[in-house]
Amino acid sequence: MQIEIQIVDTHESLESRVVIGLQAFGHHLNRTLLIGQLYEIEREVKHLGADERGRIRQTKSKSLLDALHQWMLLQRQRITDGAATAKALDYSLKRWVALTRFVADGRLPIDNNWIENQIRPIAIGRGNWLFAGSLRAGQRAAAVMSLIQSAKLNGHDPYAYLKDVLARLPTQKSSRIDELLPHKWAPLIT
């Protein structure tokens, strides 16, 4: 198999940019389009079962990822150590197995965008919580925020969850305290 690097000028209506392409398997692959193709495959398989999704990823996504990996390895050889691009490539190449694990396991998403969106409110507020008053107060705030996010992730209304848990907590047997955790909690039927 012959792999050859080309520089391709792509002119767009308002901007001109240089795109580095990869000539592999007899056709030109643009790395940006290649990643777009991976996400297009994910859109096509998102409603399928895990086994079928994994099978399709093996037949369609794997070859695209192999081409991207080859391109990254070749680019890394051309870039001086210490350059920002070299650091970015090294970061991805060192984590390649983890980054591509979704291909072998249809249960895994292609990225972690969903969880990133879930934790964003905590990350944004982190600066404000530096002023919780003390280390203990900060730890307590973190515990409460973890419960709130866990309640959301388990499909509960955080207010209803906390209200019920705080009402039941004083009389809950310590041997059954785990029943109040968000993934096991069920509201009392009154």
| 135-153 vs 158-168: helix crossing angle, rounded to 10 | 120
Q: What confidence category does residue 27 fall into, taking pLDDT thresholds of 50, 70 and 90? A: very low
- Quote the pTM value: 0.55
Token pair, residue 93, equals 């190449």
DSSP 11: E
Q: Which residue has the tokens 């419960």?
A: 147
Q: Where are the domains of the chain?
A: 4-104, 113-180
Alpha helices in the chain (DSSP H): 31-45, 50-56, 62-78, 84-94, 96-99, 101-104, 113-129, 135-153, 158-168
Whether the pLDDT of residue 60 is over 90: the answer is yes
